[in-house]
Amino acid sequence: MPERQQVSTIVNARWVATVDAHNSILENQSIIIDKGRILAILPQTQTEYAAQDTVNLPHHAVMPGLINAHTHAAMSLFRGLADDLPLMTWLNDHIWPAEGRWVNDDFTRDGALLAMAEMIRGGTTCFSDMYFFPNVVAKAVNDVQMRAQLAFPILDFPSSWAQNADEYLRKGLQLHDDFRHHPLINIGFGPHAPYTVSDGPLQKVVAFSAETNMLIQMHVHETAFEVEDATQKSGKRPLHRLHELGLLSPHLQAVHMTQLNDYEIALLAQTGTHVVHCPESNLKLASGFCPVAKLLEAGVNVALGTDGAASNNDLDMFGEMRTAALLAKGVSGNPSAVPASAALRMATINGAKALGIDSVTGSLEVGKSADLIAVQLDDVTCQPFYHLESQLVYSTPSSQVTDSWVAGKRLMKNRELTTIDLPAVLARTQEWKKKIAEADHP
Amino acid sequence: MPERQQVSTIVNARWVATVDAHNSILENQSIIIDKGRILAILPQTQTEYAAQDTVNLPHHAVMPGLINAHTHAAMSLFRGLADDLPLMTWLNDHIWPAEGRWVNDDFTRDGALLAMAEMIRGGTTCFSDMYFFPNVVAKAVNDVQMRAQLAFPILDFPSSWAQNADEYLRKGLQLHDDFRHHPLINIGFGPHAPYTVSDGPLQKVVAFSAETNMLIQMHVHETAFEVEDATQKSGKRPLHRLHELGLLSPHLQAVHMTQLNDYEIALLAQTGTHVVHCPESNLKLASGFCPVAKLLEAGVNVALGTDGAASNNDLDMFGEMRTAALLAKGVSGNPSAVPASAALRMATINGAKALGIDSVTGSLEVGKSADLIAVQLDDVTCQPFYHLESQLVYSTPSSQVTDSWVAGKRLMKNRELTTIDLPAVLARTQEWKKKIAEADHP
């Protein structure tokens, strides 16, 4: 008998949802992990490998880590600060004053750590962030060892991070240089929205993006008001303006997209523009309904995001998958729209495609990074269990996620975080809460 | 110093959401429980009571147990059996064949126990059931000591429980007699739907209900098809037919109601008819949207239900509250619609009103039954925490429910069920699953 090959980790899983091209579901498999990558996926009876760390998961499904394709991580410190309000009251009387007063290096680091703790515990291994002080978030992500795209903000107006569009761009491009070779972090452009960034900076974004292959994430057509207002003022719907500026391409991740006509859906498909759907935020702010079923049918890649915790109010991608699958049926009037397998793809491989990292992550396939989670399915909420994808999407609370690995590094071990000091994060959250609550007097 | 009054239980809670008429939120309170009722709610510093059992909940909110106002408990055994299908494929090829083959005494008992285990763990203390063999469910509810309304089924066609409308009625009225004095169980009429019960049996239901004060639960206007079909065949919308038959009254709990015009909303308000909203089931089956914001504005009492686990796929009332609050905003286009406090009322006191037990339960007030739950709020998903109602509705997973009492009896103690043998229930669920899965070949 030949000597067994030494590897870092073997995960023995009762079920595996690979989310590969065929949505293959496997049973009783060993996932062999070495040097941060998936070396093999094979029946548990095979014995050609020996591992430093063998993890037995007899009641668990293993699946790709979820990809939260749009959030504002640090805003978790504003979770539930102001709810059930008209959008402009929420922004003018609560969120913007709070941001103006509190957002700095410390706030952003503490908020990002709180968000990452919640995300890892809920099965997310990769997220896209859009917030001030992305340099601070990058450092925190590096410490925690999650995977992330940080879309640095670009606005026409000043913030505590930069004074004008040029300064946002300069700082962001510097950040991109600093993290150019980081294995887990990509820096992208985050022009906030059509109504907050003028043509000049957007033209620069298009030019830099073409030159560097950096990706772009932007809020687009979030509300009917945004579209009507722009159309009245300029005679153009925002998406058409972006198209004229050359923004619609596989480099663009257009977030929200609740207002889309058939011509625009075809345009998105034709240009390879990605859509990031945030169903719970869209519901909570009464923004409108993204036509997800139509987009998927047209061949548009639709990823999934929670948006920030100030408008959701959680970063739970299991909940978001479920809401996306349910809402698409209600909105389209078709109970077969966005079946469980499609929702699962939106939360994994579609997110990886949007973020330009689908050769690295988003599915469990040999050669990809070992970005995976384990979900325990013997709880009463998950029983009986007939079909794995349906189970994962429609009746699995994120509290059933027990373990998480990113690039082979175990970030959660039986519900315990290994790279975040959770009590310290919660203690700092308490301190922020006291200060923020005291000052929140609209 | 006078001797302290001996009581059965004192619950010391950091926060209390009373859901009383003023939605009062209290802090650092002792809830004094004796003889199954709330004797007092007073600051923790008071020492006039001594208890056999003192429960300290320093990081918890205590609130009324949730009331799931519409479910088919035993159908939990079909959870996830068939999803993402057109309604008639789902019914004809999966659910009805499975019901025809499997539904008997054993199935109903095992399924009801599974459902009750899930409901208690998720914070539900009271539910309304509509299913075959309500006599078996009644016995199981009595054993578990939850609170329930059992709306016995009435149909024009036969099932394994009864052969025709008269037999359904006879068996149901017998059950009502048997449980007339039960402290936790009410028996009601459950005529299935306008399209499955003809005028004759409905007239009997109205007459018996007037005579006995028994309540009625019925699926009404669940889908557009149901309304169009009836209107074509009879010239009347189903709700108008029910009104002519005398069904619209405070005795009726009309479930679903996704198709309602302004005249009908006014009619419901005027007759005092209750609506039971099941948002996740309506989404999953693409049934349409119940106009909850309009109903509440018109003064209609709207309760909340999960529907059965075959069309949800869970019995999680925390999730249902959240979906109800989010969806109402999206559907009405108003981010202030169904604020957290309203969602909380829908899931508690409004349910109690619909089930005719609001003098007994549905809020935490002196003299009411001690039907309450504790929710632990120091988890990362619940932090920071600015406003209790918002926290409970928008960012509290049901896995944070730690304890549950019904009529002063502790049904869950730090996540452990005290009246259900959970391993035995899960083992029987496994047996059913094997049999049902083998036979499910459409």
Shortest CA gap A76–chain B (Å): 8
| Cβ–Cβ gap B390/A83 under 8 Å | yes
- What residues of chain A, 36 to 65, have a C-beta less than 8 Å from chain B? none
Tokens 């939106």: give the residue.
A346
| Cβ–Cβ gap A286/B332 under 8 Å | yes
Q: Is B244 exposed, middle or buried (0-12, 13-18, 19+ CB in 10 A)?
A: exposed
Shortest CA gap B272–chain A (Å): 28
Selecting from A90, A289, A380 the residue whose C-beta is nearest the C-beta of B422 gives A380
| Cβ–Cβ gap B80/A283 under 8 Å | no
Q: Are A70 and A276 in contact (CB under 8 A)?
A: yes
- What residues of chain B, 121 to 180, have a C-beta less than 8 Å from chain A? 121-122
Average pLDDT, chain B: 96
Residue range B375-390: average pLDDT?
96
Q: Is B282 exposed, middle or buried (0-12, 13-18, 19+ CB in 10 A)?
A: buried
What type of residue is A371? D
**Is B1's pLDDT higher than 60?**
no
Site from A394, A421, A425 to mutate, B interface, most B CB atoms within 10 angstroms: A394
Selecting from B77, B282, B398 the residue whose C-beta is nearest the C-beta of A384 gives B77
Q: Are A222 and A275 in contact (CB under 8 A)?
A: no
- Over its length of 442 residues, how does chain A's per-residue pLDDT go in tens digits? 568 899 999 999 999 999 999 999 999 999 999 999 999 999 997 779 999 999 999 999 999 999 999 999 999 999 999 999 987 888 889 998 999 999 999 999 999 999 999 999 999 999 999 999 999 999 999 999 999 999 999 999 999 999 999 999 999 999 999 999 999 999 999 999 999 999 999 999 999 999 999 999 999 999 999 999 999 999 999 999 999 999 999 999 999 999 999 999 999 999 999 999 999 999 999 999 999 999 999 999 999 999 999 999 999 999 999 999 999 999 999 999 999 999 999 999 999 999 999 999 999 999 999 999 999 999 999 999 999 999 999 999 999 999 999 999 999 999 999 999 999 999 999 999 999 999 887 6
Shortest CA gap B402–chain A (Å): 14
Tell me the HSE value of A104 on the side-chain side, using a 13 A CA sphere.
Answer: 4
Residue B408, both tokens: 């002063």
Site from B380, B426, B433 to mutate, A interface, most A CB atoms within 10 angstroms: B380
- The pLDDT, as a whole number, for residue A1 is 53
Mutual angle of helices A105-121 and A134-144, in 10-degree steps: 40
Nearest CA in chain B to A225: B333
- What residues of chain A, 271 to 290, have a C-beta less than 8 Å from chain B? 280, 282-286, 288-289
d(C-alpha B51, C-alpha B39), whole Å: 12
What is the Cα Rg of chain A in Å?
Answer: 21
Shortest CA gap B54–chain A (Å): 27
Alpha-helical runs (H) found in B249-300: 262-271, 279-284, 292-297
| Cβ-proximal residues to A221 (8 Å cutoff; 6+ apart), any chain | A227, A237, A238, A239, A254, A256, A257, A258, A259, A260
| Cβ–Cβ gap A80/B289 under 8 Å | no
d(C-alpha A282, C-alpha A324), whole Å: 11
On chain A, the residues whose CB falls within 8 A of the CB of B440 are: 386
Length in residues, chain B: 442
Residue A89 falls in which region: left (phi positive, over 0), alpha (psi -120 to 50) or beta: alpha
Selecting from A285, A289, A339 the residue whose C-beta is nearest the C-beta of B335 gives A285
| Cβ–Cβ gap B386/A81 under 8 Å | yes
How many angstroms separate the first and last alpha carbons of chain A?
A: 74
Shortest CA gap B393–chain A (Å): 9
Exposed e or buried b per residue across B293-323, where buried means at least 16 C-beta atoms within 10 angstroms of its C-beta: bbbbebebbbbbbbbbbbbbbbbbbbbbbbb
Instruction: Tell me which residue of A265, A323, A267, A268 sits closest to A294, measured CA to CA.
Output: A265
**Is B2's pLDDT higher than 70?**
no
Lowest mean pLDDT among A7-11, A201-205, B82-86, B150-154: B82-86
Mutual angle of helices A165-178 and A199-212, in 10-degree steps: 20
Alpha-helical runs (H) found in B123-237: 134-144, 165-178, 199-212, 224-234
| Cβ–Cβ gap A397/B395 under 8 Å | no
On chain A, the residues whose CB falls within 8 A of the CB of B376 are: none
**Whole-structure pTM over 0.90, yes or no?**
yes
Sheet with strand B124-129: strands edge to edge: B66-71, B124-129, B147-154, B185-191, B216-220, B252-256, B274-277, B302-304
d(C-alpha B167, C-alpha B225), whole Å: 29
Residue A169, both tokens: 């761009």
Selecting from A313, A336, A426 the residue whose C-beta is nearest the C-beta of B395 gives A313
On chain B, the residues whose CB falls within 8 A of the CB of A286 are: 329-330, 332-335, 337
On chain B, the residues whose CB falls within 8 A of the CB of A425 are: 380
Q: Are B354 and B276 in contact (CB under 8 A)?
A: yes
Residue A116, both tokens: 């990452």
Q: Where are the domains of chain A?
A: 5-64+369-407, 66-354
Instruction: Tell me which residue of A253, A220, A258, A222 sits closest to A239, measured CA to CA.
Output: A220
- The pLDDT, as a whole number, for residue B442 is 61
Q: What is the pLDDT of residues B283-342, one digit of tens each?
A: 999 999 999 999 999 999 999 999 999 999 999 999 999 999 999 999 999 999 999 999
| Cβ–Cβ gap A286/B334 under 8 Å | yes
- The pLDDT, as a whole number, for residue A56 is 97
- The pLDDT, as a whole number, for residue A2 is 65
d(C-alpha B284, C-alpha B309), whole Å: 11
Question: Strands A49-64 and A5-17: what pairing?
Answer: parallel
Site from A84, A307, A318, A426 to mutate, B interface, most B CB atoms within 10 angstroms: A84
- What residues of chain B, 407 to 436, have a C-beta less than 8 Å from chain A? 422, 425-426, 429-430, 432-433, 436
Length in residues, chain A: 442
Instruction: Tell me which residue of B419, B374, B421 sits closest to B398, measured CA to CA.
Output: B374
- What residues of chain A, 347 to 406, have a C-beta less than 8 Å from chain B? 378, 380-381, 383-387, 390-391, 394-395, 397-399
- The pLDDT, as a whole number, for residue B389 is 97
Lowest mean pLDDT among B44-53, B229-238, B398-407: B44-53
Residue A51, both tokens: 């591992």
Report in angstroms the alpha-carbon separations of A440 from A6, A99, A159, B27: 57, 11, 19, 20
Strands (E), A279-407: 302-304, 372-376, 401-406
Shortest CA gap B318–chain A (Å): 11
Instruction: Tell me which residue of B136, B143, B148, B247 sits closest to B193, measured CA to CA.
Output: B247
Residue B38, both tokens: 């709330």
H or E element, residue A161: none
Exposed e or buried b per residue across B411-437, where buried means at least 16 C-beta atoms within 10 angstroms of its C-beta: bbeeeebebbebeebbebbeebbeebe
Beta bridge partners of B406: B409
Neighbours of A245 (CB within 10 A): 14
| Cβ-proximal residues to A379 (8 Å cutoff; 6+ apart), any chain | A400
| Cβ–Cβ gap A386/B85 under 8 Å | no
Q: Is the peptide bond before B313 cis (omega within 30 degrees of 0)?
A: yes
H or E element, residue B378: none
- The pLDDT, as a whole number, for residue A442 is 61
Shortest CA gap A367–chain B (Å): 32
**Is B47's pLDDT higher than 80?**
no
Nearest CA in chain B to A343: B84
Neighbours of B366 (CB within 10 A): 13
d(C-alpha A318, C-alpha B82), whole Å: 20
Beta bridge partners of A405: A372, A410
Site from B383, B400, B401, B435 to mutate, A interface, most A CB atoms within 10 angstroms: B383
Quote the distance between the C-alpha of residue B361 and its chain's center: 13
Nearest CA in chain A to B340: A84
d(C-alpha B187, C-alpha B230), whole Å: 29
- What residues of chain A, 302 to 331, have a C-beta less than 8 Å from chain B? 309, 312-314, 316, 319, 323, 325-327, 329-330
Domain A66-354, what fold?
Answer: TIM Barrel (3.20.20)
Lowest mean pLDDT among A44-53, A234-243, B146-155, B202-211: A44-53
| Cβ–Cβ gap A384/B283 under 8 Å | no
Nearest CA in chain B to A223: B333
d(C-alpha A371, C-alpha A403), whole Å: 11
On chain A, the residues whose CB falls within 8 A of the CB of B280 are: 326
| Cβ-proximal residues to B351 (8 Å cutoff; 6+ apart), any chain | B66, B67, B68, B69, B126, B303, B304, B362
Task: Please report the number of interchain residue pairs, chain A to chain B, with beta-carbon separation below 8 angstroms.
Answer: 193
On chain B, the residues whose CB falls within 8 A of the CB of A378 are: 426
- Please work out, in degrees rounded to the nearest 5, the angle formed at the alpha carbon of residue A123 by the alpha carbons of A117 and A126: 75
d(C-alpha A150, C-alpha A72), whole Å: 10
Nearest CA in chain A to B315: A381
Q: How confident is the model at residue B3 (pLDDT cuts 50, 70, 90)?
A: confident
d(C-alpha B180, C-alpha A198), whole Å: 72
Nearest CA in chain B to A315: B381
**Is B431's pLDDT higher than 70?**
yes
On chain A, the residues whose CB falls within 8 A of the CB of B225 are: none
| Cβ–Cβ gap B429/A384 under 8 Å | yes
d(C-alpha A407, C-alpha A391), whole Å: 26
Give me the sign of the Cα torsion angle A412, B122, A312, B255: positive
- The pLDDT, as a whole number, for residue A45 is 78
d(C-alpha B398, C-alpha B420), whole Å: 19
Instruction: Tell me which residue of A162, A172, A432, A131 sits closest to A307, measured CA to CA.
Output: A131
Give the ipTM of the model, two decimals please: 0.97
Quote the distance between the C-alpha of residue A238 and its chain's center: 24
What type of residue is B369? S
Task: Flag whether residue A339 sits within 8 Å of chain B, measured between CB atoms.
Answer: yes
- What residues of chain B, 199 to 238, have a C-beta less than 8 Å from chain A? none
H or E element, residue A320: helix A317-332
Neighbours of A35 (CB within 10 A): 10
In chain B, how long is the greatest CA-to-CA distance?
Answer: 77
* Domain A5-64+369-407 bears CATH identifier 2.30.40.10: yes
